A = this chain, B = another copy of it.
Amino acid sequence: MATTIRDVARAAGVSQATVSRALSMPELVRADTRARVEAAARELGYRPNRAARGLITGRTGNLGLIVPDLANPFFASVVKGVQAAARAADHSVFIADTDEEAGAEVDLSRALSKQVDGLILCSPRAPDEELAAVGSDTTVVLMNRMAGERPSVTVDNADGMRQALEHLVALGHRRIAFVAGPRTSWSNAQRETGLRGTAEAGGVDLVHLGHFPPQFEGGVAAADLAVASGATAVIGYNDLVALGLLSRLGARGIPVPDAISVVGCDDIGMSAMNHPALTTVSVPKRSAGRATVGLLLSMLDAGAEAGPVHRELPTQLIVRDTTTVAPVSPTKGSTR
């Protein structure tokens, strides 16, 4: 068995309580006693059992994080941010991947709720009502999603889309397609809203292309529709989709951006590496992860309710190779 607080107490010739104090509230114990305890602890390689401590303090020192798909670089970055921030605050993080299945979100939340101080639901797909059911056992913070009064950290999706659209309009595009992501994705809704508002104001024809999976394959599948729509530019729900678009356009021999411009969203690493490099809306993934942990931890420290909180992080358009002035002849003409 691993060494317990009793072993240390015995070795240092003090009581368990003193060991506990010496280690967690050092100022409450005399210097020489503390020294003795610390020496004994070090010698025995003592590491307190956090689970046992949690049983009594009510704080486990653990956070839970639930994401739709770790294979999506967007979420991988978020996880990195969360994990780093948690570690800095001396917390550990449970990770769970729902595989884009909304039902699993609630199940996994429940499974984790008892072992964590707080739970971060990242881009949850479940409807508001189901989400509301989560969190009787633990503090819950939403990330990249808002629902009711739930505390949350989001990014300004609508503004990002505004920037993208205005950029395209400035280049002369007047008919622009949007390849929508998951129907149940909150950020997809936000992006559509931002797009619609800006399009109306700018007198732009906005073509809405069905809902596609937020992956490379989704973009591949959507590309032909985008071309057929007569749009001179197409915005993908996210970078993966935009990359899929580029791939399929390339395969058809449709030059980007000469025949059609393409814009993504998220700014995952791949976008800059792609050739041509993808114009995209940069989303502060790591920072959002860190901010969410910060919010969660501050709520926990505040003890009771601090009321509903919401933080929104800015987004920023990054112009790269895939956008340029609108082609003079309609896109259709350039297909073979």
- A residues touching B (Cβ–Cβ < 8 Å)? 2, 45, 47-52, 54-55, 60, 62, 70-71, 73, 76-77, 79-80, 83-84, 87, 92-97, 99, 108, 110-115, 136-137, 216, 243-244, 247, 250, 269-270, 273, 275
Flag if B92 contacts A94 (CB, 8 Å): yes
Chain B: which residue is nearest A277 at the CB level? B247
Known: A55-B51, A273-B247. A115 touches B92 (CB 8 A): yes
Flag if A269 contacts B70 (CB, 8 Å): no
How many Å lie between the Cα of A80 and that of B80 in the bound state? 15
Residues of B within 8 A of A62 (CB): 94, 115
- What 13 new A-B contacts, CB under 8 Å, besides A47-B137, A70-B76? A45-B136, A48-B114, A49-B114, A50-B115, A51-B114, A51-B115, A71-B269, A84-B99, A92-B112, A92-B115, A247-B273, A247-B275, A250-B275
Known: A2-B137, A55-B51. A95 touches B97 (CB 8 A): no
Chain A interface main SS type = helix
Contact residue among B70, B273, B275 (Cβ-Cβ distance under 8 Å from A80): B70
Report the minimum CB–CB distance from A290 to chain B (whole Å): 13
Chain B: which residue is nearest A2 at the CB level? B137
Report the minimum CB–CB distance from A90 to chain B (whole Å): 8
Flag if B80 contacts A76 (CB, 8 Å): no
Chain B: which residue is nearest A75 at the CB level? B76
Residues of B within 8 A of A52 (CB): 51, 55
Contact residue among B96, B136, B216, B269 (Cβ-Cβ distance under 8 Å from A273): B216
Residues of B within 8 A of A250 (CB): 275
Known: A55-B55, A243-B273. A50 touches B94 (CB 8 A): no
Known: A76-B70, A76-B76. A47 touches B113 (CB 8 A): yes
How many Å lie between the Cα of A83 and that of B68 in the bound state? 13
Flag if B47 contacts A269 (CB, 8 Å): no
How many Å lie between the Cα of A45 and that of B133 in the bound state? 12
Known: A83-B70, A94-B92, A115-B92. A269 touches B216 (CB 8 A): yes
The 23 listed contacts between A and B (C-beta, < 8 Å) are: A2-B137, A47-B113, A47-B137, A49-B55, A50-B115, A51-B54, A70-B76, A71-B77, A73-B73, A76-B76, A79-B95, A83-B96, A83-B97, A84-B99, A92-B96, A92-B111, A92-B112, A93-B94, A93-B96, A94-B94, A216-B273, A247-B275, A270-B270
Report the minimum CB–CB distance from A330 to chain B (whole Å): 25
Contact residue among B84, B114, B270 (Cβ-Cβ distance under 8 Å from A50): B114
Report the minimum CB–CB distance from A70 to chain B (whole Å): 5
Flag if A47 contacts B95 (CB, 8 Å): no
Report the minimum CB–CB distance from A262 to chain B (whole Å): 14
5 closest cross-chain pairs (CB), A and B: A51-B51, A95-B95, A76-B76, A70-B76, A2-B137
Flag if A70 contacts B60 (CB, 8 Å): no
Chain B: which residue is nearest A275 at the CB level? B250
Residues of B within 8 A of A275 (CB): 247, 250, 275
How many Å lie between the Cα of A115 and that of B97 in the bound state? 20
